[in-house]
Amino acid sequence: MSDQGRNRRSTPSNGRPRGAQGSPEGRRAGQRGPVRTVQPARRVAYDVLRAVSETDAYANLVLPSAIAEARLTPQDAALATELTYGTLRRLGTYDAIIAAAADRSPDSIDPAVLDALRLAVHQLLATRVASHAAVNESVNLVATESGRGASSFANAVLRRIARESAEDWHARIEEQARSDDERLALRSAHPVWVIRALRRALAAEGRGDELEALLHADNASPEVTLVALPGLAEPGEPRLPYAPTAFASPGGDPRRPVEESGGTVRVQDEGSQLVALALAGAAPIAAGERWLDLCAGPGGKTALLAAVARQHDVTLEANEIVPVRARLVRKALRAVPGDVVVHEQDGRALAASRPGEFDRILVDAPCTGLGALRRRPEARWRKSPADVAELVPLQVELLSAALDALAPGGIVAYVTCSPHLAETTGVVKEVLRDRADIVELDARAAVAEVALSPIDLADEGRVGSGSAQLWPHRHGTDAMFLALLQRSSDEHTSPGKED
């Protein structure tokens, strides 16, 4: 079950693409069912699921615009949000239930039909939606999208599922598991490889017994966290326990306080705020310093650093290789007075072209995003160990290039929104192996220094490492990793050579 729930686009064993003419649940050539009434919230949730499946869209980016376009009431918007995220979180578990009820692999089911079934199963087994409403509206969706034959298939599968409780279905699929990890994967709706990576990361802190608490936190709906850019806005209530800039959304649409503030209040996870503030607070700031955000998109940390830089007469530059994300960085910076140059280069090349120039550099490296599964639940089904193997060399190269761009005494913050050891301490160890000119600072102390209240940053098992790891279950933040690396103030010390 290590690949359960992954939205693969392979063909079934019979050689026909899913949904091709002739498959019993597929759309007949040129034949669509009659348009039937579907409750607006379910329609929005379904459309977002289709976008995630077909175009690799991120639900957190697609859903708000879909809600706005459909002009949903606040109640319907809340329902659409729960249906979308709830379905995506437990995709692998729901696929296993659908497979058992349909007696066929999810890969052999037309994708449009499969998404409707997933949406219905979530309603049937995890919400208080009436069974008849969940079945009928989902069958209507299938009839509209894929025709009468497909709707008959969906109706039979869903009525079979509706006859048993969630507990019964979970017990049934868990009986088929081949190992304890597969059983836990089905119960917690995480792929096996992710469970094993999270277990290793917790064990590195001597906290392996927290695994199930972490998996549970990954499946809980996170509260919306806001940041008040320092010097430009004041945090509202209720305040959050750690970042001095962070507060919880007072309820309702979080876009309202953002728009009313002109962008000086933004949506940003508290952990994301903490790692940026820890870089700013890692050493006293001197006027005239030069800072760089090397991998800046979409710009949340950039805006926070820009606000701090403005208070200390510091020059900040940003870089983002993807043009669309670079535009998001510029948009995020509009609320901060002053000019921040935003480059659009490969971060490795930019850093290599500016040796010894910067006093502080943030390397918020591209990563698997396993630390933000609460907010991007579909990521758990998209990623694989192959993604880690592909990303780690890039992370090593970005961090190495950033260290070369440091001025003597300068500090790099290496950040990932992933607790995977290969992406975190593994990268740091690899880079430091031949760097006699770099020392690792105590990132835990830096985070504790900026935090408003005591913060539990376990250090068991991290001998020789001063890195800090945040966790959803322990801190209520995304699982952000932070390492702080400082270049020797001795200008005659060169990379890779002893004094």
Query: DSSP state, 30?
Result: T
Q: What amino acid positions are annotated as catalytic residues? A: 417
Sheet with 225-228, strands from edge to edge, namely 246-248, 225-228, 265-267
Query: DSSP state, 239?
Result: B
Contact assessment for residue 311 and residue 233, using Cβ atoms and an 8 Å cutoff: no
Query: DSSP state, 392?
Result: H
Single out the residue of 149, 107, 145 nearest to residue 18, CA to CA: 107
Contact assessment for residue 425 and residue 467, using Cβ atoms and an 8 Å cutoff: yes
Q: Which whole-number Å values give the CA distances from 332 to 281, 299, 385, in the listed order?
A: 22, 6, 32
Single out the residue of 75, 77, 58 nearest to residue 67, CA to CA: 77
What is the b/e burial string over 362-384, where b = at least 16 CB atoms within 10 angstroms of the residue's CB? bbbbbbbbbbbbbbbbbbbbbbb
Peptide bond into 298 cis (omega under 30): yes
Single out the residue of 371, 379, 342 nearest to residue 476, CA to CA: 371
Q: How far apart are the first and last CA of the chain?
A: 52
Please count the other Cβ atoms lying within 10 Å of the Cβ belonging to residue 165.
Answer: 11
Alpha carbons 208 and 201: distance in angstroms, whole number: 8
CB neighbour class for 175 (10 Å; exposed up to 12, middle 13-18, buried from 19): exposed
For 127-132, the CB contacts below 8 A with 24+ separation are 127/82, 127/83, 127/86, 131/162
Phi, psi (degrees; rounded to nearest 5) at 215 = -60, -40
